[in-house]
Amino acid sequence: MAETEKRPTNFIRQIIDRDIESGLHTTVHTRFPPEPNGFLHIGHAKSICLNFGIAEDYQGTCNLRFDDTNPEKESIDYVNAIKSDVSWLGYHWDGEVRYSSDYFDSLHGYAVELIEKGLAFVDFSTQEQIREMRGTLKAPGQHSPYRDTDVATNLQEFEKMTQGEYTEGHCCLRAKIDMASPFMCMRDPVIYRIKFAHHHQTGEKWCVYPMYDFTHCISDAIEGISHSLCTLEFQDNRRLYDWVIDNISIATQPRQYEFSRLNLEYTVLSKRKLIQLVTEGFVDGWDDPRMPTIAGLRRRGYTPASVREFCSRIGVTKMDNLIEMSMLEACIRDELNEHAPRAMAVLDPVKIVIENYAQGEGETLTAANHPNKPELGSRELAFDKEIYIERDDFREEANKKYKRLVLGKEVRLRNAYVIKAERVEKDEDGNIQTIYCTYDADTLGKDPADGRKVKGVIHWVSALRHEKAEIRLYDRLFKEPNPGALELAEAYNPDSLVKLNGVVESGLANKAIGEAVQFERTGYFCLDKESKAGALVFNRTVALRDTWAKIGD
């Protein structure tokens, strides 16, 4: 990782510093524990950067562990996508990838241990009854009629559950804790349930699966996690985790610390909603460039460093937050402004014919790849009698503020000559078809000889030698800054994707998928994976700031 990346401290790092100073820990061992039930999103990136970043900085280790206790919702495709996203972000997990399912035998053993200690019982109440007996935040719950079943019977019944002798939902294993606890998670929580489901790691081996809460804390303990970092919604569950670990024979006790989730404006960061966007066809898959997924950001043109930089800028606290999209955009823009080579592309072309330029006399000009980085070299530009400019860069009439091409006036073509618009040709509906211009041959790389001032500069692409390209412009996925509570259809922004048929410099055909480029005046782009020879596709990663502001409207 680049040394220039800042590592601001936060309350978790302060706790770790204290633990190391006091000798409580000599090494730091963290983990990132995703459930493989969807692709990772930018919120997960926050957790990844925190966990892996801490391990890196304290010369500790960080595990990648799949918390895979819900076989019906999980899949190997999600496992693979998550592994590739973590690697893409630039992090390395310690040893092999781990799975909570690696510990199913141990977890089952610990469940038996709780039964033997009289701390767990098999409950034959229906789910409905269990819910009713749980009580409310104001009223304590009631004891299940099965709560006092003797240990021997509980052991037998749990064994029958495990052997597949009961149907799904017929019974479950519950911890015996405290039905009057102010923490609902302590009211005899279910710790094992029956599920006749194929598991992506363990196949058909099990028909009982441990619940997340029971699994998570034991998995952390088995792996010797020193600091178990998670989001605030698990704050109450910490009591249950501590109870489980205190009551089974396991040596380590990871300490859990909670931080606030990342929320980002104009998008949703919940896998349930993201799945819905994909399955209901609002977007074109998990890696649609509008998605806040790591895969979507990558396809959009974000780099690993820009995502890490974002996570560093937002920091880690316990405060609720809704981060502005512009914060994320600034991270990639800052990076691309430094590194992306420049090129010209016309997104909405209108043709120009330069009448005094000799027929068949095209030439090859040279343009710098970066205005202030000569080390990025230069490229060849085809200039011809016929070129394209943006439809929006021409007006028949305009006031002085409009510093682009106006009928009867001059403008400079970026990296080329000064041209003057002489007349236009329109179709039957009055749309401009062609703009006829003349050029001043003595203005390549220099001002007009007679001291004429030409203020505007516009970009262009040869109409005879270029590549066609579909240009995809993205806007916010949702119309509302905080769409979480709304129906997707209601909040969805139908203009979040606009496709244009543009033209780009021929050299851009050689770009690699994902490679960044700045199209002068229109933004930072990258080649999309759907690109083919002769049918390039570019995604706009992010628009420019007020570039060339002097050009005016």
Task: Give the interface with ligand ATP as residue ranges (CB under 6 A).
Answer: 33-35, 43-44, 46-47, 230-231, 261-262, 269-271
Nearer to ligand ATP, 454 or 486 (CB): 486
Instruction: Give the helix/strand (H/E) hosting 65.
Output: strand 61-66
Q: Where do we find the tokens 């998570």?
A: 216
Q: How far is the CB of 233 from Mg ion (least distance, A)?
A: 9
Least distance to ligand ATP from the beta carbon of 284, Å? 20
Q: At its nearest, how many Å lie between ligand ATP and the CB of residue 39?
A: 10
Q: Cα angle at 136 between 134 and 142, to 5 degrees?
A: 35
Round to whole Å and give the CA distance between 436 and 121.
87
Give the nearer residue to Mg ion in terms of CB position, either 34 or 523. 34
Whether 165 sits among the annotated catalytic residues: the reply is no
Output 47 or 541, the one with its CB closest to Mg ion. Answer: 47
Bridging pattern class, strands 410-413 and 457-458: parallel
Query: By rule CB under 5 A, what string of x and - marks binding of each residue 22-61 to Mg ion?
Result: -------------x--------------------------
DSSP string, 47-93: HHHHHHHHHHHTT-EEEEEE----GGG--HHHHHHHHHHHHHTT---
Instruction: Locate 362 and state its tokens.
Output: 């095209």
What phi, psi does 514 have (nearest 5°)? 90, -10
In Å, how far are 97, 346, 477, 509, 520 from 500, measured between CA atoms? 43, 10, 18, 17, 16
Beta-strand runs (E) in 391-521? 394-395, 405-406, 410-413, 418-426, 432-440, 457-458, 461-462, 467-474, 497-504, 516-519
- The least CB distance from residue 234 to ligand ATP, in Å, is 7
DSSP count for the chain of H helices, then E strands: 13, 27
Which residue of this chain has its Cβ atom nearest to ligand ATP in the complex?
A: 43
Is residue 261 annotated as a catalytic residue, yes or no? yes
Query: Which residue number, 43 or 296, has a Cβ lying nearer to ligand ATP?
Result: 43
User: Closest separation between CB of residue 64 and ligand ATP, Å?
Assistant: 11
Q: Which does 189 bind (CB under 5 to 8 A by kind): Mg ion, ligand ATP, none?
A: none
Spot the catalytic one: 13, 31, 35, 187.
Answer: 35
Q: Considering the complex, what minimum distance in angstroms separates the CB of residue 263 from ligand ATP? A: 7
Of 46, 193, 271, 511, catalytic: 271
Cross-sheet strand order for the sheet of 418-426: 457-458, 410-413, 418-426, 432-440, 349-354, 386-390, 461-462
193 is catalytic: no
Nearer to ligand ATP by Cβ, of 35 and 102: the residue is 35
Residue 497 burial (C-beta neighbours within 10 Å; 0-12, 13-18, 19+):
middle
Q: Which does 537 bind (CB under 5 to 8 A by kind): Mg ion, ligand ATP, none?
A: none
- Write out the binding residues for Mg ion, residues 478-537 only, by CB under 5 A: none
Q: Catalytic residue among 147, 160, 261, 414, which?
A: 261
Minimum CB distance to ligand ATP smaller for 35 or for 467: 35
Binding site for Mg ion (CB under 5 A): 35
State the catalytic residues.
Answer: 35, 261, 271
